[in-house]
Chains A and B, each alone.
Chain A
Amino acid sequence: MSDDTTNLADSGCVSRRNFLFGSSAVVASSILLPALPGTGGKALAAEMARYPRKLVGKLSSLKTNEVQHFNYPDDGSTAKSVIVKLGTPAGGGIGKGRDVVAFNALCTHMGGDMRKTYKSEHQVLGPCPFHQSTFDLQRHGMIVSGHATESLPQVLLELEGDDIYAVGLIGLIYGRYDNLKG
Chain B
Amino acid sequence: MSDQSTPFFQPEDKIPLPPKSAEVLTTCCDYCVMACGYKVYRWPVGSADGGPRKHENAVNRNYPLRPNQSGWIGPNQYTQATYDGRLYNLAIIPDPDAKVVNVKGGHSIRGGCIAQKVYNPRKPTQDRLKYPMIRINDILMPVTWDFALDIMAAVSKHVIAKHGEAAWAMKYFSYQYFENTYALTKLAFKDINTPAVAHHDHPAIVNSVPGWVDMGYDIFSASHEDFALADCVLISGTDPYESKTVLWNNWILKGINGNKTKVIMINPRRTMGVAYAETHGGLHLDINPGSDTVVQMAIQRVILENGWEDKEFIDKWVANFWETDSGFGQGTRNTPWQWRTTWGKFQVKGFEDWKAWMLSQEESKPEVAAEIAGIDVAKIYKAAEMMAKPKANGERVKTSIAIEKGNYWSNNYLNTVSIGTMGAILGAGGRPGQVVTRLGGHQRGGVNGGPYPTMKSAYKVPGRRRHRLDLDRWMEAGHVRFAYVIGTTWIQAMAGSSALADTFKKLIKLNPHQVRSFDKQEIIDTLIRRSDSGGTVVVNQDIYLRDPIGAQYADIVLPAATWGEEDFARANSERRIRLYSKFYDAPGDALPDWKIAAKFAKKMGFEGYDWKDSNDVFEETCRFSRGSRKDYQVIRTMAQRKGMKAHDFLRTFGTTGLQAPLMLFGDKIVETKRLHDYNRTDIPDTGPEGVTIVNKRMTAFKTHTGKLNLLKSPWAEWSDFYEFMKPRDGELWIATGRINEIWESGFDDFERRPYTQQRWPMNFLEIHPDDAKARGVESGDIVAVEADRVPIQKDFNLGVKSDDMRFSGLMKRGHIKISTGQFSAVAIVTPSTKKGVVFTDFLKMDSPANSVTPRVPDPFTLNYRFKIANGKVKRVGESVFKHKFSQMTFKRRDIV
**A residues bordering B, Cβ < 8 Å?**
1, 23-26, 28, 31-36, 44, 47, 76-78, 89-92, 106, 108-113, 119, 122-124, 126-127, 130-132, 134, 136, 138-140, 142-151, 153-154, 169-182
Contacts and interface: CB of A to CB of B under 8 A. Distances in A.
A151 B891 contact: no
Nearest to B253: A131
Interface string B362-378: 00000000000000000
Interface stretch (B72-80, B153-161, B260-268, B492-500): B72-80
A175 B61 CA distance: 10
Contacts of B17: 177
Nearest to A149: B112
B13 A47 contact: yes
A144 B891 contact: yes
Contacts of B70: 110
A86 to B, nearest CB: 11
Contacts of A138: 885, 889
25 contacts: A23-B3, A25-B4, A92-B7, A106-B67, A111-B72, A113-B67, A122-B892, A132-B276, A134-B895, A138-B885, A140-B5, A140-B886, A142-B758, A147-B109, A149-B75, A150-B76, A151-B7, A153-B13, A171-B10, A171-B11, A175-B72, A176-B64, A178-B15, A181-B63, A182-B64
Given A140-B5, A144-B893, A179-B13, A130 B740 contact: no
Contact of A170 (B13, B64, B106, B109): B13
A44 B13 CA distance: 11
B248 to A, nearest CB: 8
A144 B894 CA distance: 9
A142 B75 contact: no
A147 B112 contact: yes
B896 A172 contact: no
A125 to B, nearest CB: 10
B893 A130 contact: no
A128 B109 CA distance: 14
A177 B896 CA distance: 30
B688 interface: no
Contacts of A149: 74-77, 107, 109, 112-113, 755
Contacts of A36: 10
B7 A111 contact: no
A26 to B, nearest CB: 6
Contacts of A91: 5-7, 885-886
Nearest to B115: A149
Contacts of A134: 272, 891, 893, 895
B1 interface: yes
A177 B50 CA distance: 10
A112 B67 contact: yes
Contacts of A171: 10-11, 13, 75
B68 A110 contact: yes
B12 interface: yes
Contacts of B113: 149
Contacts of B741: 143
Tell me whether chain B's interface is mostly helix, strand or loop, or mixed.
loop
B10 to A, nearest CB: 5
B65 interface: yes
A140 B885 contact: yes
A78 B68 contact: no
B803 to A, nearest CB: 45
A127 B279 CA distance: 13
Given A26-B3, A127-B895, A78 B64 contact: yes
Contact of A150 (B5, B66, B75): B75
Contact of B72 (A31, A123, A174): A174
B891 A136 contact: yes
Nearest to A150: B11
Contacts of A123: 891
B6 to A, nearest CB: 5
Contacts of B72: 111, 174-175
A126 B891 CA distance: 12
A76 B14 CA distance: 16
Contact of B74 (A35, A108, A144): A108
The contact size tier of chain B is 35 or more
A172 B891 contact: no
Interface of B: 1, 3-7, 9-17, 52, 63-70, 72-77, 106-109, 112-113, 241, 245, 248-249, 253, 272, 276, 740-741, 755, 758-759, 885-886, 888-889, 891-896
A172 B64 CA distance: 11
Contacts of A78: 64-65
A124 B69 contact: no
A179 B14 contact: yes
By Cβ-Cβ distance, the 3 closest A-B pairs, closest first, are A91-B885, A111-B67, A91-B5
A144 B112 CA distance: 16
Given A132-B241, A150-B76, A151-B7, A144 B895 contact: yes
Contacts of B888: 139
A177 B73 contact: yes
A35 B7 CA distance: 10
A119 B6 contact: no
A148 B741 CA distance: 10
A175 B276 contact: no
Contact of A172 (B6, B12, B249, B886): B12
Contacts of B107: 109, 147, 149
Given A109-B112, A139-B885, 8 more contacts: A25-B4, A26-B1, A35-B6, A90-B885, A122-B891, A139-B886, A143-B109, A172-B11
A143 B886 CA distance: 12
Contacts of A108: 74
Contacts of B10: 34, 36, 44, 170-171
A131 B249 contact: yes
A169 B7 contact: no
B6 A34 contact: yes
Contacts of B14: 172, 177-181
Contacts of A47: 13
A31 B69 CA distance: 33
Of B12, B75, B107, B891, chain A has the most CB atoms within 10 Å of the CB of B891
B4 A181 contact: no
A154 B113 CA distance: 20
A110 B74 CA distance: 11
Contacts of A92: 5, 7, 885
Contact of A25 (B3, B12, B15, B276): B3
A140 B7 contact: yes
A83 to B, nearest CB: 17
A153 B74 CA distance: 12
A150 B249 contact: no
A132 B74 contact: no
Contacts of A77: 64, 66
Contacts of B75: 149-150, 171-172
B852 to A, nearest CB: 26
A150 B74 contact: yes
